[in-house]
């Protein structure tokens, strides 16, 4: 029996990837539910734009604050336990959103929802780093991240319909139940290392470890060199790059449906359609970006080109598209340009997460946690900036110019990132 298993290559790693793909769909179902329900929630509680901005930002503030400790839990205990805890927690508070009675209760529930979801993506990335060879991690990450955007594309039109049929409260309960079901399946089937999984053959394990000298750096990290991490300029550049990513991303996550309804005058049906369009474009962008970062890295022999050039190019093109949104009067052109901006930004997603795996090694969970924390600090600021610009300045165009400027800052950070330099050991490989 053993010899047959050794001869026949298995594909358990793809089951891991499909589970993570399903998880990212659920993540954005739960995260975007409130943005699609925001017009109905605002009407129920008579919120001002700035109050709704604070509700949006309560999630991202908590998400950012708890990203590093939740990423570290994956390094220490393994992602099987860490992701189970994360998904169960956030699913409970997704459901509890339905019980909100006003501003402060909604603010609290969304904050605790953010506490629960923190660490999801660092642990997804760490799972991929353990189950895929480094030369295939960009593509694997892109598959997982496509789920984000497919979930996001479905959420707004779906929630618009569910709110019309059921009111805004019940969809939060339904989406929370989906997360609980996923967590039960994950904990039952997944193992932290392919060596521990009975479904992995010798041939598959050989492929997974094919471009690693050894797999010891993938074990659980018992100690984190916090002082070294905090002094790492390379990590600072990575965080600065992702601050721009998170700032730009959270307009789509929070204000996009409201912008299309209020600023551009679309009907609810067309607002749902054009809210989905940037996420469909993003799915294509993250898929292409994952292929591109791996292909360029292999083709040129340079991670600097494969990671940083892809990242810088995506940010530049996204910033130009956002400036064009602010300048155009045609609402269909504006909505289409938003989709172009999202596509260009998401070209960079796999490169960003891959560079964390390049430099993080055993502490990949903490390193990705630092990066995603900073990105979500950007995501915390953005909804409030938009809310105040609309309420105090009566302007929907100023936020687009600001976002373009933030992406310009991100381009500079991308050019300074060194994907060869470990943020833990300070080592530099060839091609530095």
* CATH classification of the domain holding 230: 1.20.1250.20
Residue 421, in any domain of the structure: no
In a 10 Å sphere around its CB, with 0-12 CB exposed, 13-18 middle and 19+ buried, how is residue 350 labelled? buried
Using one digit for the tens of pLDDT, what is the confidence trace for 221-234? 556 677 888 888 99
Q: What is the pLDDT of residue 341?
A: 97
Q: What is the pLDDT of residue 74?
A: 77
Residue 425, in any domain of the structure: no
Q: Which residues make Cβ contacts (< 8 Å) with residue 159, sequence separation at least 6?
A: 32, 33, 36, 37, 171
Using one digit for the tens of pLDDT, what is the confidence trace for 239-264? 999 999 999 998 888 888 889 988 89
Residue 2, in any domain of the structure: no
Nearest to 273 by CA among 151, 153, 163: 153
Cβ atoms of 132 and 116 within 8 Å: the answer is no
Which pLDDT band, with edges at 50, 70 and 90, does 309 fall under?
very high
Taking residue 95's Cβ as centre, other Cβ atoms within 10 Å add up to: 22
Does 150 score more than 80 pLDDT?
yes
Using one digit for the tens of pLDDT, what is the confidence trace for 72-119? 777 788 899 999 999 999 999 999 999 999 999 999 999 999 898 888
Rounded CA separation 419/293 (Å): 12
Mean pLDDT of 255-282: 87
Using one digit for the tens of pLDDT, what is the confidence trace for 160-219? 888 889 989 999 999 999 999 999 999 999 998 888 888 888 888 888 887 654 444 455
Residue 337, in any domain of the structure: yes
Mean pLDDT of 274-292: 89
Residue 428, in any domain of the structure: no
Of 121 and 45, the structure prediction assigns the larger pLDDT to 45
Does 424 score more than 60 pLDDT?
yes
Cβ atoms of 70 and 119 within 8 Å: the answer is yes
**Share above pLDDT 90 across residues of the chain, in percent, rounded to a whole number:** 39
Residue 352, in any domain of the structure: yes
Residue 431, in any domain of the structure: no
Give the count of domains, the chain: 1
Predicted TM-score of the model (pTM):
0.74
What's the domain range around 88? 9-209+217-416
Mean pLDDT, the chain, rounded, equals 86
Residue 422, in any domain of the structure: no
Using one digit for the tens of pLDDT, what is the confidence trace for 6-28? 445 678 889 999 999 999 889 87
Mean pLDDT of 134-156: 79
Q: What is the pLDDT of residue 432?
A: 39
């Amino acid at each position: 029996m053993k010899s047959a298993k050794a001869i026949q290559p298995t594909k358990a790693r793809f089951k891991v990837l499909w589970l993570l793909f399903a998880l990212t769909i659920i993540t954005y179902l739960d995260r975007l539910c409130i943005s699609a329900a925001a017009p109905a929630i605002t009407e129920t509680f008579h919120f001002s734009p700035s109050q709704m901005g604070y509700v949006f930002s309560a999630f991202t503030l908590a998400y950012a604050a708890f990203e590093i400790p939740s990423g570290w839990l994956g390094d220490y205990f393994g992602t099987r336990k860490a992701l189970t805890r994360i998904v169960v927690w956030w699913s409970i508070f997704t459901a509890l959103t339905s019980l909100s009675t006003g501003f402060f209760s909604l603010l609290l529930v969304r904050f605790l929802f953010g506490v629960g979801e923190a660490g999801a993506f660092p642990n997804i990335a760490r799972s991929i780093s353990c189950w895929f060879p480094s030369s295939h991690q960009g593509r694997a990450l892109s598959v997982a991240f496509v789920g984000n955007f497919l979930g996001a594309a479905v959420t707004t039109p779906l929630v618009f319909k569910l709110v019309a049929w059921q009111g805004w409260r019940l969809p939060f309960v339904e989406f929370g139940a989906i997360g609980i079901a996923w967590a039960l399946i994950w904990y039952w089937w997944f193992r932290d290392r392919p060596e521990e999984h009975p479904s992995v053959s010798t041939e598959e394990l050989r492929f997974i470890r094919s471009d690693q000298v050894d797999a010891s750096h993938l074990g659980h990290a018992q100690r984190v060199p916090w002082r070294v991490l905090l002094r790492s300029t390379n990590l600072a550049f990575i965080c600065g790059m992702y601050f721009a990513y998170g700032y730009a991303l959270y307009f789509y996550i929070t204000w996009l449906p409201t912008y299309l309804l209020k600023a551009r005058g679309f009907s609810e049906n067309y607002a749902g359609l054009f809210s989905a369009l940037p996420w469909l474009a993003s799915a294509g962008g993250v898929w292409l970006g994952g292929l591109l970062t791996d292909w360029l890295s292999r083709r040129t022999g340079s991670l600097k080109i494969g990671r940083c050039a892809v990242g810088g190019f995506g940010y530049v093109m996204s910033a130009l598209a956002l400036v064009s949104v602010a300048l155009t009067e045609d609402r269909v052109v504006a909505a289409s340009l938003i989709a172009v901006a999202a596509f260009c930004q998401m070209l960079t997603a796999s490169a960003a997460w891959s560079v964390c795996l390049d430099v993080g090694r055993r502490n990949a969970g903490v390193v990705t946690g630092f990066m995603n924390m900073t990105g979500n600090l950007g995501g915390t600021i953005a909804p409030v900036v938009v809310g105040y610009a609309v309420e105090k300045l009566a302007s929907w165009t100023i936020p687009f110019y600001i976002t373009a400027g933030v992406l310009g800052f991100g381009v500079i950070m991308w050019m300074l990132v060194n994907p060869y330099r470990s943020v833990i050991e300070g080592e530099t490989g060839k091609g530095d």
